[in-house]
């Protein structure tokens, strides 16, 4: 029975995977991106160039390709068992998004006037104190708009997971399409819209909270 209710339940289950990929990507990519930023801004040249090359490769190739490479790569290249499907998706997404985030962070850090860090330094602050008490909050303020954009893109990018047969919401809907039922596919749009709607409200709230900082 493909009643509206049954379809909704099935799609919700697929949407669970979507949310899992989304959440796991954010949880890991947000801090990893910061490490990539520090690497690509490092004064140690080899590290800097390594990081910049990685960012270039990751941003320069389709995420779909990266997914396939990470899922099939280990077996094809070394004949070893690679990741399971869901972990492979998460690894690929985390690496991909960490690189995008790192560039946003970098622009944000470079945007905080150097003079302020120097003022902190003359006041006897340690480097870590300058970062956590002066730079970080201004960095956050600067990156909220571009990060919102990336994060909203991530919501929709999760649908790429179906390439390696992870049953996220679109894949579930395509199952129905194969059975001749087309509307569930369009119905998935509602899920995405609601999700993005909630995120948009959240971002707007954050921006409001940071409005007191004039930079």
Q: For residues 126 and 204, which CB has a smaller minimum distance to another protein in the complex?
A: 126
Q: For residues 24 and 125, which CB has a smaller minimum distance to another protein in the complex?
A: 125
Site for another protein in 133-192 (CB under 8 A): 133-134, 137-138, 141
Q: For residues 91 and 134, which CB has a smaller minimum distance to another protein in the complex?
A: 134
Q: For residues 50 and 125, which CB has a smaller minimum distance to another protein in the complex?
A: 125
Identify the DSSP state of 79: S
Neighbours of 51 (CB within 10 A): 20
Structure tokens at 189: 């749009």
| Exposure string over 61-95, b if 16+ CB within 10 A, otherwise e | eebeebbbebbeeeeeeeeeebbeebebbbbbbbb
Residue 61 contacts residue 129 (beta carbons within 8 Å): no
Does 209 help bind another protein (rule: CB under 8 A)? no
Write down the least CB distance from residue 125 to another protein, Å: 6
Residue 201: CA atoms inside 13 Å, Cβ hemisphere, count?
A: 5
Write down the least CB distance from residue 124 to another protein, Å: 5
Write down the least CB distance from residue 212 to another protein, Å: 6
Write down the least CB distance from residue 134 to another protein, Å: 6
Separation CA 145–CA 195 (nearest Å): 18
**Rg of the chain over CA atoms, in angstroms?**
21
Structure tokens at 100: 């995008």
Q: For residues 87 and 113, which CB has a smaller minimum distance to another protein in the complex?
A: 113
Q: For residues 205 and 209, which CB has a smaller minimum distance to another protein in the complex?
A: 209
Site for another protein in 101-130 (CB under 8 A): 113, 115-116, 118-127, 129
- Of 61, 20, 45, the residue nearest 167 (C-alpha): 20
Write down the least CB distance from residue 145 to another protein, Å: 17
Applying CB under 8 A, which residues contact another protein? 113, 115-116, 118-127, 129, 133-134, 137-138, 141, 212-215
């Amino acid at each position: 029975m493909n009643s509206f209710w049954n379809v909704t339940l099935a799609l919700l289950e697929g949407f669970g995977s979507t949310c899992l990929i989304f959440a796991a990507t954010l949880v890991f990519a947000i801090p990893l991106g910061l490490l990539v930023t520090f690497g690509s801004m490092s004064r140690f040249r080899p590290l800097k160039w390594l990081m910049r090359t990685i960012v270039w490769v990751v941003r320069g190739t389709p995420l779909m390709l990266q997914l396939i490479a990470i899922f099939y790569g280990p077996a094809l290249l070394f004949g070893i068992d690679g990741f399971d499907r869901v972990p492979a998706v998460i690894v690929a997404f985390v690496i991909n998004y960490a690189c995008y985030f790192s560039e946003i962070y970098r622009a944000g850090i470079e945007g905080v006037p150097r003079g302020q860090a120097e003022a902190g330094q003359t006041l006897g602050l340690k480097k870590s104190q300058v970062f956590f008490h002066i730079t970080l909050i201004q960095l956050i303020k600067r990156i909220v708009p571009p990060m919102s954009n990336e994060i909203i893109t991530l919501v929709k990018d999760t649908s790429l997971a179906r390439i390696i047969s992870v049953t996220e919401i679109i894949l579930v809907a395509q199952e129905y399409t194969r059975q001749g039922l087309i509307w569930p596919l369009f119905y998935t749009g509602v899920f995405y819209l609601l999700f993005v709607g909630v995120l948009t409200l959240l971002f707007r709230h954050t921006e409001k909270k940071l409005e007191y900082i004039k930079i």
